[in-house]
Amino acid sequence: MNAHWQGMGLGHGAGGGGTGGGQRWKMRELASQEHLDKAIIQRALKAFVPYWPHAILVTLVIVVTSVGGVIPAWLTQRIIDDGITKGRFSVVIWLTITLVLTAIATGLLSVWQNWLSNVIAQNVMADYRLALFRHLQRQTVQFFASRQAGDLVSRVMNDVTAIQSVITTTLVGFVSNSLTICTTLVLMFGMNWKMSLLAMIVVPGFVFPTQRVGKTRQKLQAEIQEWLSKMTVQLSETLGVSGALLIRIFNHEPHEEKQFSDANRTLRDLQVRQTLVGRWLFMWLGMFSSIGPALLWGYGGWLVIHHQIGLGVIVAFTTLLSRLYGPLSQLAQLHVSVLSSIALFRRIFLLLDLKPEVEDGPTTIPPSSVQGRISLEGVSFSYNTEAHPEERKVALQDIDLTVEPGQTVAIVGPSGAGKTTLLNLIPRFSDPTSGRILLDGMDCRTLTLKSLRGQMGLVPQDPFFFHDTVFNNLLLANENATQEDMEKACRAAQIHETIAALPQGYHTIVGERGYRLSGGERQRLAIARVLLQGPRIVLLDEATSALDTVVERKIQDALAVLLEGRTAIVIAHRLSTVRAADKIVVLDRGHIVAIGTHETLVEESPLYQKLYETQFGIVSHR
């Protein structure tokens, strides 16, 4: 961000030394900020283009409503001057009926206008939410690993919801108030131009004080959204099953409560400040709203006494003043609202402008044509760390590896060797920094993500399940699967009897992240899900949790069914998997240090020998 602002001419020292240089720097900063604000507003307005028919209709309704709004004042003047003062009761009756009908028609049009503006607002909000959600779906796993889920949820929900007032109040209010002022001035100057000029004397008092208030509210709005985001993050983390367990095991409830209370108090104070900012301004506007009628009554009364105008004119003028000063006051507040809304759109656009690290390829491959050969050629991967964002940490370096169709390759190595990173590169959860990964001789970057990942099944070390039924969680793998298909896959994964014994069978809710199931049950259900998917390639990160003998045997039987006839890359933690692999890849510090069979590596690789003795709890006898 610092580089970006400096590139815009806003870096430190941009104006040179001395007072004059500092002043020029400040002027350039303000000009550049205004340019950025205008760009944000212009971009925000583009969201309304698809709804231009509704916008035109709203504008027409506002025009009719604005005209209808000044008619009562004109009718009031006619009732007094042409009816009451001349003793013509029939004129009073007909004009009164017209006044009532005009009020009813204007009220109905106002309701329609409000409905139309809300239709536009809800559509624009829905478009932004969908655009943000789609954009986030295109981001890599690394993107989500480096960000808090609660903050992203806050961007999609809180920030987008907050722009509703921008649409229903700010934009519609600007058009409505502008037209109201125009129609009011036309009628006022038509009645008496001298009194109209007198009424306009106080107008500058409505306009000049708003800029400073707008800037303050803009800053407060940005802070409020940041604190809303922080509170959403804490709620999403502490109210989830994993967070709740962690908090309770360490007796951390008082700390979490204090942290939430402090944030809640800060948010409350900011929102109170935002509400109070500009109260002096609005008091000032209210004062000028009272000065105008006083001037008109004084000057108008003199004109009436000297028979230069009728009493109805001055009554109509004072009625119209509320339609002049009220919209002027609201326009001043709208200016404040526009500046505040820029902070909201800036947060939304910052997220929308993030470029996905993994781009979709153009080529689709039919599932039946996939053989399952995977080749890594000179693959390296590095990433930025939060502690030193300007530096990149190397996770993999010059990896060359080929897995033939139907082979099972086990990956072993100490913690931090790059095993999970290697596994994540194959389905393009991230792309290599250099080198390439091939599927059946085709560069994976040239393939569509859907067709690539459609041929790969993943069983992670800690399988994730949505807070939904077993049936719907399995349906993720194959949306066309029947109950019979699911039962067949679950039988092969040694989990069908466990599911059938649940209260509602396959329609039992598994709980958040599947926590109503045991660790071994979640693993077998994850295997069943991949079996139901039927991929050509299986990526497996075996769990390291201690399991009893019966569960261990069931998982091994399920894995045997899963891996049979498929290309498999397994981060191995079990000795049985290592021994059954066609070849074993030993990783250390991002490098392949050895490749071979179990028997060969035990004899020839010191690192594998050490892993064999410590990780698998076996002492070899060479």
- Concatenating the DSSP letter of every residue in 295-309 gives HHHHHHHHHHHTTSS
Q: What 3-state DSSP class applies to 525?
A: helix
Strands (E) across 483-564 are located at: 537-541
211 has pLDDT over 60: no
Query: Which letter does DSSP use for residue 331 in this model?
Result: H
Domain-wise residue ranges, the chain: 51-352, 463-534
Rounded distance, CA 158 to CA 135, Å? 17
Rounded distance, CA 206 to CA 217, Å? 18
Out of 20-34, 77-91, 407-421, least confident range: 20-34
16 residue type, one letter: G
Query: In Å, how far from its chain's centre is CA 127?
Result: 11
Rounded distance, CA 396 to CA 587, Å? 9
H/E element, 259? helix 253-276
Rounded distance, CA 386 to CA 459, Å? 28
Residue 391 backbone phi and psi in degrees, to 5: -105, 155
Handedness of CA 64, 68, 69, 74 (dihedral sign): positive
Kindly give the pairing relationship between strand 567-571 and strand 537-541.
parallel
Provide the angle, in degrees to the nearest 10, between the axes of the packed helices 311-352 and 279-305. Answer: 160
Question: How far is CA 434 from each of CA 430, 431, 479, 593, rounded to the nearest angstrom?
Answer: 12, 8, 36, 19
Span 539-568, average pLDDT: 77
Confidence of residue 3 (pLDDT cuts 50, 70, 90): very low
* pTM greater than the 0.85 cutoff: no
Q: Which residue has the higher pLDDT, 364 or 85?
A: 364
Rounded distance, CA 2 to CA 7, Å? 8
Out of 146-150, 443-447, 546-550, least confident range: 546-550
Residue 579 backbone class (left: φ over 0; alpha: ψ -120 to 50; beta: rest): alpha
Q: Which two tokens stand for residue 214?
A: 């707008």
589 residue type, one letter: R
Question: How far is CA 432 from each of CA 280, 364, 372, 518, 538, rounded to the nearest angstrom?
Answer: 58, 21, 20, 35, 20
Of 143-147, 152-156, 346-350, 370-374, highest mean pLDDT: 370-374
Long-range contacts of 428-433 (CB under 8 A, 24+ apart): 428/358, 428/452, 428/453, 429/140, 429/141, 429/142, 429/358, 430/140, 430/141, 430/142, 430/357, 430/358, 430/381, 431/357, 431/358, 432/379, 432/380, 432/381, 432/396, 433/380, 433/381, 433/382, 433/392
C-alpha distance across the termini of the chain, in Å: 58
pLDDT 10s digits, 566-615: 899 999 887 777 888 899 999 999 999 999 998 899 888 899 888 887 76
For residue 401, give the nearest of 210, 609, 217, 582 by alpha carbon: 582
Confidence of residue 207 (pLDDT cuts 50, 70, 90): low
- C-beta separation of 194 from 302 below 8 A: no
Query: Which letter does DSSP use for residue 607 in this model?
Result: H
**Partners of residue 403 on adjacent β-strands:** 374
Average per-residue pLDDT in the chain? 79
In this prediction, residue 15 carries a pLDDT of 41
- CATH code of the region 51-352: 1.20.1560.10
Dump the DSSP string for 201-245.
TTTHHHHTTHHHHHHHHHHHHHHHHHHHHHHHHHHHHHSSHHHHH
Q: Which two tokens stand for residue 502?
A: 């649940």
Rounded distance, CA 246 to CA 618, Å? 33
Cβ neighbours for 147, distance < 8 A, ≥ 6 positions apart: none
In this prediction, residue 401 carries a pLDDT of 94
Confidence of residue 212 (pLDDT cuts 50, 70, 90): low
For residue 179, give the nearest of 341, 58, 282 by alpha carbon: 58
Rounded distance, CA 415 to CA 409, Å? 18
For residue 453, give the nearest of 140, 135, 131 by alpha carbon: 140
Provide the angle, in degrees to the nearest 10, between the axes of the packed helices 253-276 and 241-249. Answer: 120
- C-beta separation of 456 from 374 below 8 A: no
Rounded distance, CA 273 to CA 441, Å? 63
SS3 content of the chain, % helix, strand, coil (to 5): 65, 10, 25
Rounded distance, CA 528 to CA 555, Å? 11
323 has pLDDT over 50: yes
The fold adopted by the segment(s) 463-534 is Rossmann fold (3.40.50)
pLDDT 10s digits, 352-378: 888 888 888 899 888 788 899 999 999
Rounded distance, CA 296 to CA 585, Å? 92
Rounded distance, CA 379 to CA 433, Å? 7
pLDDT 10s digits, 4-35: 333 333 233 334 444 444 555 444 544 555 56
The b-or-e profile of 580-591 (16+ CB within 10 A means b, else e) is: bbebbbbbbebe
Rounded distance, CA 383 to CA 75, Å? 74
Rounded distance, CA 419 to CA 422, Å? 5
Give the full edge-to-edge strand order of the sheet including 374-384. 392-403, 374-384, 434-439, 442-443
41 has pLDDT over 70: yes
Burial of 236 (0-12, 13-18, 19+ CB in 10 A): middle
Residue 450 neighbours by CB distance under 10 Å: 10
Span 440-468, average pLDDT: 88
Q: What is the dihedral of CA 490, 494, 499, 502, to 10 degrees?
A: 180
